[in-house]
């Protein structure tokens, strides 16, 4: 075999290559055309297989949705226990086949270098092979370098571009020929795609962050050149320091000039962000003055109009030296087209029924160096199983843990804030105290082991928000504290319910009569479990004890709950309810102490009044 890569190395930025070392299957290696061709930014698992080979069409369509423009498939990783070169050849062939579908007409297969990696199932190192071109059929094992600071490598060089575009697409179809609707719909969508490339369409580029004195004026780009033959890796980058008023001479760095206080933070949440808006020039300049013309196109038969709503939200990655014109033509416009077609294909089967409520979200999960794009159907709500299965599939593909929420709506990046992270998911203007137990010393159980609530919660108690529930609302307040925990851990975006909303929920599920709404009746552990199941899809376990004296017998079970689940616990007896935040338990002696959050408190929300140790 010809040694064509004597001095070649693969640079690995991510750590996911090690995580799946003992698993079977295939992973796609993700890189960027803005980096040297042998830089692996992330890995994404292949989850669709047809018989013994990948379902390339499904994989391509899902990766086209998931990946930001500016990232693409550059290779594949295969797991094997023998014949590394043979498996490397299979990985390279799989990567090339996927690239043909993923990159489409922009792919020049013969000149593209592709990586084939082989992970030894017996615990050996991962070997990397590189194929220079499809026609040569030769590849060579190369060295691998691991980047010490991958976040800096990506985000010091690059920025994010965002384009949000709401559309209303009217579809006129004959009543007597509903079968023509699909053909009419496809023609209408093709017309919209053509509009993105119309010379009359202008693109306004501006800084997304507007709270800096250095924000430059927006730039209008007209007649954007859509030359797909020029690959992004071959685009000439501009000097980031050069500034020119001519739009054709500006790069993305023109809008990345914000002064940042303190040491730089390299992450997707703190990246420089650029906003691109689509502007349609409906007036046409003419050298001659002409009178307005109205054209009338009568329908030849009875027709109806169907309006399809779109809300596109495209996010792209670009190096700062990329010319703005190329950023729009090769990132934003292809991103709009892909997302528009994706939404259209999802809506098409149900055009005459209830349209799916589709919304685009961007996430930056831990361990993934670049954001990902997810389109959720909101028809299914927060707890619908179909939505859960979608998230499970995404966790599997991205190698994310299954025991914590990372891709719920509450975790999505929010570009209305400075740092891109969704604002604190509590009520606006809330003055409720959080985590009031922090710093409280144990009562001193000799040889005890402390198990505590994990994460944050809000302290709900009597008389808050000018609502008098003294004497009957303690379980309601304990429930509110528990739901606030789920919100602050991003398990849900559901608002903390009021007393009336809790009562309404119990009536809706048939547990209470309508007269219960607005009453001052108590609720207990069973009602709490019903509400948590209805609002959050959370199942509960109710433990019965005959008296408070029996509670220490449950300490082992309670400790395991705090260690494994970490949620607050409502405990009640008679007409009283409390919130349990932790225990100090000596398994050998049986001695224990309980950390109780009291919802019966009626004073002001001040730490020194709530915690005796702070007086």
CA 111, CA 123: separation in Å to the nearest integer? 34
Q: What are phi and psi for residue 455, nearest 5 degrees?
A: 100, -170
CA 19, CA 27: separation in Å to the nearest integer? 12
Contact call for residues 358 and 343 (beta carbons, < 8 A): yes
CA 419, CA 267: separation in Å to the nearest integer? 10
Q: DSSP string of 290-333?
A: ----------SS-EEEEEEEEEEEEEEEEETTSBHHHHIIIIIH
CA 87, CA 79: separation in Å to the nearest integer? 8
Q: Which residues contact 482 (CB under 8 A, 6 or more apart)?
A: 457, 528, 532, 567, 568, 570, 579
- CA–CA distance from 186 to each of 26, 339, 340 (Å)? 35, 15, 12
Contact call for residues 126 and 21 (beta carbons, < 8 A): yes
Catalytically annotated residues: 474, 598, 600
Locus of tokens 């009453």: 519
128 has which bridge partners?
117, 142
Structure tokens, 169: 């697409």
Contact call for residues 570 and 580 (beta carbons, < 8 A): yes
Q: DSSP string of 26-73?
A: EEEEEE-TTS-TTEE-EEEE---EETTEE-HHHHHHHHHHHBPBT-EE
Q: What are phi and psi for residue 479, nearest 5 degrees?
A: -60, -40
Helix axes 56-66, 333-347, angle to 10 degrees: 120
Best CA proximity match to 26, nearest among 65, 69, 80: 80
User: Residue 585: exposed, middle, or buried by beta-carbon count in 10 A (0-12, 13-18, 19+)?
Assistant: buried
Contact call for residues 339 and 312 (beta carbons, < 8 A): yes
- Count of CB atoms situated within 10 Å of the CB of 381: 12
Structure tokens, 526: 């069973």
CA 62, CA 67: separation in Å to the nearest integer? 9
The DSSP symbol for 359 reads E
- CA–CA distance from 575 to each of 270, 475, 527 (Å)? 49, 9, 14
Contact call for residues 146 and 127 (beta carbons, < 8 A): no
CA 60, CA 72: separation in Å to the nearest integer? 11
């Amino acid at each position: 075999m010809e040694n064509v890569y004597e001095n070649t190395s693969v640079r690995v930025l991510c750590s996911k290559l090690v995580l799946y070392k003992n698993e079977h299957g295939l992973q796609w290696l993700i890189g960027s055309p803005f980096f040297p061709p042998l830089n692996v930014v992330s890995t994404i698992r292949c989850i669709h297989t047809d018989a013994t080979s990948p379902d390339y069409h499904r994989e391509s369509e899902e990766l086209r949705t998931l990946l930001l423009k500016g990232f693409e498939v550059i290779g594949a990783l295969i797991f094997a226990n023998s014949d590394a070169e043979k498996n490397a050849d299979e990985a390279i062939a799989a990567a090339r086949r996927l690239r043909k579908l993923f990159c489409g007409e922009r792919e020049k297969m013969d000149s593209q270098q592709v990586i084939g990696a082989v992970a030894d199932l017996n615990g050996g190192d991962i070997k990397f092979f590189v194929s220079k071109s499809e026609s040569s059929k030769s590849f060579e094992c190369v060295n691998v370098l691991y980047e010490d600071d991958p976040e800096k490598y990506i985000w010091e060089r690059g920025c994010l571009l965002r384009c949000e575009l709401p559309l209303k697409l009217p579809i006129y179809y004959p009543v007597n020929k509903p079968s023509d609707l699909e053909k009419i719909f496809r023609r209408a969508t093709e017309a919209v795609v053509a509009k993105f490339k119309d010379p009359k369409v202008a693109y306004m580029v501006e800084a997304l962050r507007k709270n800096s004195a250095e924000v430059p004026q927006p730039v209008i780009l007209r007649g954007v050149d859509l030359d797909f033959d020029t690959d992004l890796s071959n685009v000439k980058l501009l000097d980031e320091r050069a500034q020119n008023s001519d739009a054709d001479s500006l790069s993305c760095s023109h809008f990345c000039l914000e002064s940042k206080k303190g040491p730089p933070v390299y992450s997707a949440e703190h990246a420089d962000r650029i906003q691109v808006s689509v502007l349609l020039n409906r007036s046409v300049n003419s050298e001659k003055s002409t009178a307005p013309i109205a054209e009338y196109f009568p329908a030849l038969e009875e027709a109806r109009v169907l309006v399809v709503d779109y809300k596109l939200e495209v996010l792209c990655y670009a190096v700062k030296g990329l010319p703005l014109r190329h950023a729009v033509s090769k990132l934003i416009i292809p991103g709009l087209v892909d997302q528009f077609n994706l939404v259209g294909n999802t809506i098409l089967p149900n055009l005459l029924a209830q349209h799916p409520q589709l919304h685009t979200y961007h996430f930056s999960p831990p361990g993934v160096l670049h954001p990902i794009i997810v389109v959720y159907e909101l028809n299914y709500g927060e707890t619908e199983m179909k939505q859960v299965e979608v998230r499970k599939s995404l966790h599997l593909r991205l190698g994310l843990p299954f025991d914590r929420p990372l891709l719920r709506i509450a975790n999505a990046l929010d570009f209305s804030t400075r740092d891109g992270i969704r604002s604190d998911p509590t009520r606006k203007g809330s003055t409720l105290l959080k985590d009031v137990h922090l710093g409280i010393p144990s009562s001193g159980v000799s040889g005890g082991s402390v198990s505590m609530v994990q994460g944050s919660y809000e302290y709900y108690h009597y008389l808050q928000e000018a609502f008098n529930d003294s004497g009957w609302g303690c379980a309601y307040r304990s429930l509110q504290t528990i739901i606030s925990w789920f919100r602050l851990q991003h398990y849900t975006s559901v608002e903390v319910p009021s007393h009336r909303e809790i009562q309404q929920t119990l009536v809706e599920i048939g547990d209470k009569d309508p007269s219960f709404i607005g009453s001052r009746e108590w609720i207990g552990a069973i009602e709490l479990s019903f509400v948590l199941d209805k609002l959050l899809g959370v199942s509960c376990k109710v433990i019965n004890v005959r008296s408070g004296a029996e509670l220490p017998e449950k300490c082992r079970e309670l400790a395991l709950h705090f260690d494994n689940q970490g949620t607050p616990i409502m405990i009640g007896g008679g007409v009283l309810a409390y919130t349990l935040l932790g225990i100090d338990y000596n398994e050998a002696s049986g001695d224990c102490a309980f950390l109780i959050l009291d919802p019966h408190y009626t004073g002001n929300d001040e730490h020194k009044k709530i915690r005796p140790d702070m007086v």
